[in-house]
Chains A and B, each alone.
Chain A
Amino acid sequence: MPDPSFVFAQSLSGLTAAMFLFLIASGLSLIFGVLRVLNFAHGTFYMLGAYSAYQIVQWLGAGPGMFWVAVLGAALGIAVLGGIVERFLFRHLYGQEELYQLLFTYALVLVLSDAAKIIWGTQQKSVSRPPGLTGSVSLWGATIPYYNLFILLLGPAIALGFWFVLQRTRAGRFIRAAALDRETLGALGVNVNALYTGVFVLASFLGGLGGALVTPVRTIVPGMDTEIIVEAFVVVVIGGLGSFWGTFLGSLIYGQVLSFGILFFPRFSIFSVFALMAAVLIIRPWGLLGRPLK
């Protein structure tokens, strides 16, 4: 029977992974909820956010506060990229079949990931932890790095902030309305096009932010985009496509299943997350907290 401090440590590492995943998955869920499209390129936005953060750190040096500038800068940069993609390319596909929209996002993956290779080369890159968050603390027998603790607090903070925006602000109301019935919204005089662009920009910001924040913990390699997007798919399916808290819950579940899977049935840990995804789709397709699509 494993001792409690280990269980605690393991679940914390699952939670940390979950928070990173939540940042990406929330953007994915947002785009799906409003635009009804599963954006394959979201993982690539995450990757580009990571590369951009690395690049900015290279330019500015590793002085105090520079890491945070890099993170913010990267996230904003990706947000702009998302806006450009939506406004000039994606918008023209709205009337078309879903398949075409999906394949477009996949084409973006191909183009953008090679662009990353051209710009940054193929060697893996890494970023150091920001000074100030380099140590670790001992809690209940487990050693927890400060940076991980920070992420564990940031994740729910962003979730709450997001939820506040969706529930309490005008823009948030429009977003929720667009998710339910876009035609009526247009008929009411709301600039639906601008709304769509805004949603895409916001989602890209989140994806880029996730990528930038993950850099001190994981190395930046080509292929990190295709790996993470499938994980994000699992999370939004489990939680419920289009549901915000569902995505949060889905990330938590995913993180824990993977962590403890490695402990209890190591050979099946990868298998079990996909089995879980399939099970949710079979039993309750709209996810744990989602609503049936119609």
Chain B
Amino acid sequence: MLAAAFFVPALGSRFYTFLANDVAIWALFATSLNLLVGYTGLVSFGHAAYFGIGAYTTGILMKQLGVPFLLAFPAAGLLAGALALVFGFFCVRLTRIYFAMLTLAFAQIVWAICFKWNEVTGGEQGMPEIPYPNFEWIDGVAAWLPFVGGYRASEYFYFLSLVLVGLCMWSLHRIVRSPFGRMLETIRENAERAEFIGVNVRLWELAAFALAGVFAGLAGGLFGIFNRGVFPDFAYWTKSSEVLIMTLLGGMGIFYGPTIGALALIVLNHQITSYTEYWSLILGSILILLLFVFPGGIGGAVAALWRRLQTRVHHA
């Protein structure tokens, strides 16, 4: 599927490339949240904080300090992860609704800082025009490698995003398939029981929280460049709810669920906003439908269908 994504610019429409780039970055963001929500069972309402921190980090480093992308991008993840570690330390000591409220509080703090710290973050108007990473070296490579040269900067960036998102998703996949991931699922199933058998639940939850923050920060770093501007809205709580909805829409129980959710939501958004301005109404209705009929999300429904078909085949 990833290989197919590389051919999107060949379709010729800049809009499709733009759309695909958007989907890729949000897919990473949503999957990072799923590490917390789907795998560890921790519902965070403030995940956009790390997304915003990542975006601002990359933005400030690249635009104001001229740091090259190769350094600015990991910095986004590191700073977001560090802050996730600090915030997470306090959050994991709480449960359920209090946990959610504290994640929200921290996210709003991040937002308030971005919103008011005019000198550093540009305040309300944000930082328009984050430069693209330097792609000039590609022309040199294109001289002796076919298919590589002749694209626009936005397309180079799309390829770069695909590569980076792919790497991150691969890492996340390894993480959830590992013993670490299984431990998280155990904690989700029954945290008390895990405590009884001697597991330091809080430590594992903190680790999950920090990792989720790292990947959200990386997604944010990419998004700031893609969006050609970083704005304080990136950390506002409504952004957190958007990504949460994506995760739910696609299905929390499956690794690629959030990706499906991101694809569905973004494509639907663009389609619907061409015809009407009442996107919220449609989204809300879809969400209600989902909650009542398909709690497993699209991915869940598809998986259930798949299983039904398989048992049919077996019985036949």
Contact = CB atoms under 8 A, between A and B. Distances in A.
Do A and B share a direct contact in the complex (Cβ within 8 angstroms)? yes
Interface of A: 32, 36, 38, 89, 92-93, 96, 98-100, 102-104, 106-115, 117-118, 226, 230, 233-234, 237, 241, 267-268, 270-271, 274-275, 277-278, 281-282, 285-286, 293
Interface stretch (B1-9, B55-63, B97-105): B97-105
Tell me the interface secondary structure of chain B in the complex: helix
Contact of B112 (A107, A233, A271): A271
6 contacts: A108-B288, A114-B281, A230-B237, A233-B101, A268-B116, A293-B96
Contacts, number: 111
User: Of A100, A110, A113, A275, which is in contact with the most chain B CB atoms at under 10 Å from its CB?
Assistant: A110
A103 B291 CA distance: 8
Interface stretch (B215-223, B238-246, B255-263): B238-246
B281 A271 contact: no
The 10 closest A-B pairs by CB, nearest first: A110-B284, A111-B284, A114-B281, A107-B287, A271-B112, A278-B105, A110-B280, A274-B108, A277-B105, A114-B280
A110 B291 CA distance: 14
B278 A281 contact: no
A114 B90 contact: no
Contacts of B100: 38, 102
Nearest to A114: B281
A282 B101 CA distance: 11
B280 A113 contact: yes
B278 A104 contact: no
Tell me the interface secondary structure of chain A in the complex: helix
Contact of B281 (A102, A115, A237): A115
Given A237-B101, A278-B105, A282-B90, A103 B245 contact: yes
A107 B101 contact: no
B112 A274 contact: yes
B98 A274 contact: no
